[in-house]
A = this chain, B = another copy of it.
Amino acid sequence: MDARRSAGRFPRPGGEDGLTTDDRFHREEVQLANRNRGMPLEGLRYPVTPSGMHYLLVHFDIPHIDVRSWRLRIGGAVRLPLALTLDELKKRPVVTVPVTMECAGNGRALLEPRPVSQPWLVEAVSTAEWTGTPLRGLLDEAGLRNEAVEILFTGLDRGVQGDEVQHYQRSLSVAEARREEVLLAYAMNGRPLEPQHGFPLRLLVPGWYGMTSVKWLDRIDAVVEPFRGYQMTGTYRYSRSADDPGDPVTLMRVRALMIPPGIPDFRTRVRLVAAGAVTLAGRAWAGRAAVARVELSTDGGDTWSPCALDEPFSPHAWRGWTCEWNATPGRHALCVRATDSEGNVQPTAQYWTRQGMGNNMAQRVEVLVE
């Protein structure tokens, strides 16, 4: 079943351009939301997200892999191709580090018009303590040839996207792949990866959006031409029209989120808060940059006041923040926004791109104070 033969067989909800101006959602979007999962925002309370609360985005199906026959193959433009068992990988140098990961599509469902895909609001982010071995060491073992320009990562998950039958594949420049923080991870929060997080082995690229951290690794190949596969050229682009290729999606854009205060209404998730002093808290992160500032607005984004920042607990993880609020009776829209060390600040208006990538619009939480 090659790409050509599947072409056009799966009509896109939202029409060929995959966009909708309907504020109601397609069944296909709900189907994806029931499969994938965000982190309930009260999970922001934990510096390291409990494994089962970690957000999850799976393009195809979660593969079932027999680790006894599984090998990580490293090949392509290398002097010494490798085929390693999980036990052999565990004998390599071991690194454990907390890393915040966010889906590039986080915020997509807030866009208008809306790209029809996984309908994230703001909850597609989490932090886990990942354990693995640096990729660089294995690339050195294999010996990259001079003509290698990129490292291509191929997962064992397979399906159809953009009318192409494909294994999930993403590439990184040799320089990015050789950064010291890039890991081949086999454990999450002190336990072997569960199937949905990439068992037995996944790539982990701190600072980048999650699509880069390829799960269920099968092969790692040094390639002599930039990889042009669907997940590089057909999606994960900041394109603004059908004929705009757009820039590639790379590092996570600055964002802060708050733990919604008070208690929720089941259906609407609107918050009910008791009048008086409320300590608001949450987390903020910014790709490879530092979080410089977090600000709170209690009037829907008209005015902003500074929040206190906790000390960072990992160079690759989110940073806690807190802010005091005197809750007065009535309805309020609480907003939080962060600024990174390069001066990038979250917008209060949507950041619209055709695939709904990197929309880091400031979070808005509706509260009713009584």
Cβ–Cβ < 8 Å partners of A26 in chain B: 24-25
Write the A266-284 contact mask toward B (1 if CB under 8 angstroms, else 0).
Answer: 1111101010000000000
Cβ–Cβ < 8 Å partners of A46 in chain B: 195
Tell me if A33 is interfacial: C-beta within 8 Å of chain B.
yes
Q: Please tell me if the beta carbons of A160 and B264 are within 8 angstroms of each other in the complex.
A: yes
Taking the full assembly, how many copies of this chain does it contain? 2
**Which residue of chain B is the closest to A274 with respect to CB atoms?**
B1
Q: Please tell me if the beta carbons of B267 and A28 are within 8 angstroms of each other in the complex.
A: yes
Tell me if A165 is interfacial: C-beta within 8 Å of chain B.
yes
Tell me if A197 is interfacial: C-beta within 8 Å of chain B.
yes
Q: Please tell me if the beta carbons of B161 and A1 are within 8 angstroms of each other in the complex.
A: no
Tell me if A50 is interfacial: C-beta within 8 Å of chain B.
yes
**Could you tell me how many residues of chain A have their Cβ less than 8 Å away from some Cβ of chain B?**
72
Q: Please tell me if the beta carbons of A34 and B1 are within 8 angstroms of each other in the complex.
A: no
Tell me if A248 is interfacial: C-beta within 8 Å of chain B.
no
CA distance A13 to B270 in the complex (A): 12
In the complex, which residues 109-152 of chain A have their Cβ closer than 8 Å to any Cβ of chain B? Answer: 109, 116-117, 119-121, 123
Given A34-B33, A159-B264, A161-B266, A6-B62 contact (CB < 8 Å): no
Cβ–Cβ < 8 Å partners of A260 in chain B: 61
Q: Choose among B10, B121, B196, B272 the residue that contacts A267 (Cβ–Cβ < 8 A).
A: B10
Cβ–Cβ < 8 Å partners of A274 in chain B: 1
Tell me if A40 is interfacial: C-beta within 8 Å of chain B.
yes
Q: Please tell me if the beta carbons of B60 and A272 are within 8 angstroms of each other in the complex.
A: no
Tell me if A306 is interfacial: C-beta within 8 Å of chain B.
no
CA distance A126 to B59 in the complex (A): 21
Q: How far is the CB of A223 from chain B (nearest CB, A)?
A: 24
Write the A345-364 contact mask toward B (1 if CB under 8 angstroms, else 0).
Answer: 00000000000000000000
Cβ–Cβ < 8 Å partners of A116 in chain B: 267
**Which residue of chain B is the closest to A33 with respect to CB atoms?**
B33
Q: Please tell me if the beta carbons of A195 and B12 are within 8 angstroms of each other in the complex.
A: no
* Residue among A32, A61, A194 with max Cβ neighbours from chain B (10 Å): A61
Q: Choose among B12, B160, B196 the residue that contacts A50 (Cβ–Cβ < 8 A).
A: B196
Q: Please tell me if the beta carbons of B119 and A30 are within 8 angstroms of each other in the complex.
A: yes
Cβ–Cβ < 8 Å partners of A25 in chain B: 24-27, 29-30
Q: How far is the CB of A35 from chain B (nearest CB, A)?
A: 5
Tell me if A22 is interfacial: C-beta within 8 Å of chain B.
yes
Q: Please tell me if the beta carbons of A64 and B50 are within 8 angstroms of each other in the complex.
A: no
Q: Choose among B6, B12, B37, B264 the residue that contacts A60 (Cβ–Cβ < 8 A).
A: B264
Cβ–Cβ < 8 Å partners of A5 in chain B: 370
Tell me if A247 is interfacial: C-beta within 8 Å of chain B.
no
What are 14 A-to-B residue pairs whose CB atoms are below 8 Å?
A6-B265, A10-B265, A10-B270, A24-B26, A25-B27, A32-B269, A34-B38, A35-B123, A36-B37, A40-B58, A42-B62, A159-B263, A160-B265, A160-B272
* Chain A to chain B: the 4 pairs with minimum beta-carbon distance, closest first: A24-B24, A37-B37, A33-B33, A10-B265
The chain A residues found within 8 Å of chain B, CB to CB, are 1, 5-6, 9-13, 18, 22-38, 40, 42-43, 45-46, 50-54, 56, 58-62, 64, 109, 116-117, 119-121, 123, 158-161, 165, 194-197, 260, 263-270, 272, 274, 368, 370
